[in-house]
Homo-oligomer: A and B are copies of this chain.
Amino acid sequence: RLLIDVKGEQIGQINGLSVHHSGEHTFGRPSRITCQSFPGKEGVVNIERKAEMSGSIHDKGVLILSGFLGGRYAREHSLTLSASLAFEQSYSDIDGDSASCAELLAIISSVTELPLRQDLAITGSMNQRGVVQPIGGANCKIEGFYDVCRNRGFTGEQGVVIPEQNLENLMLEDRVLESVGRGEFHIYTVERIDEAIDLFFEPSVEEVDSRMESVLEEMAETARNLQDEDEKGEDESV
């Protein structure tokens, strides 16, 4: 049984959406993605890749995240960060880049310790410059999260975030459309990752960015202090 939250907030944990196949049947399902981060030198650690459970397109998506993070946060500050990403309770290979927006949000939450909304799920890939790109299987992914929320009872705040470009070809089942019409479930579209940051975090994008920068600064300082103390200790002993 999958452990999934569909309400409240959590740090370093987000609902991604994936497509599964069972015989001839195709269905969507939320998947829990987590991140743990701490001062270090490894950058973004793709646990699936290290365990040889990640396909090339997923690998590429995570490498693109690293490029984005480097360009956005590391021009002035060195990125002395290890951010460890995992698909929890996933026992087969991961491929595709449709989780890359979710992964970025999990990283930001883990670094900043700002919580992410658990009543939203997100699908969408992003490029190195923060542009959100369309993905496949949007309909069944939305329906998959819709069904989990309906089974557990709607809060009225639940919904999914999808790439703007996926909107035009969306062909959702009537029951979902009607539910959306009734305001039980929401479909948000985003063109840039900043819009997703705004949806998932309480504070504004600027506040998130500024918190991100100050924590990265602190982390660099932690790394430094560990060396500092060494040299201070030496001074004291003279």
Contact = CB atoms under 8 A, between A and B. Distances in A.
B224 A40 contact: no
A51 B3 CA distance: 30
Interface stretch (A66-74, A179-187, A204-212): A66-74
A235 interface: yes
B34 A127 contact: yes
A26 interface: no
Contacts of A56: 51-53
Interface in A170-225: 219-220, 222-225
Contacts of A144: none
Interface of A: 1, 3, 10, 12-13, 32, 34-40, 45, 47-48, 50-53, 56-57, 59-60, 63-64, 66-68, 70-71, 74-79, 82, 84, 86, 88-89, 91, 110, 127-129, 131, 133-134, 165, 219-220, 222-235, 237-238
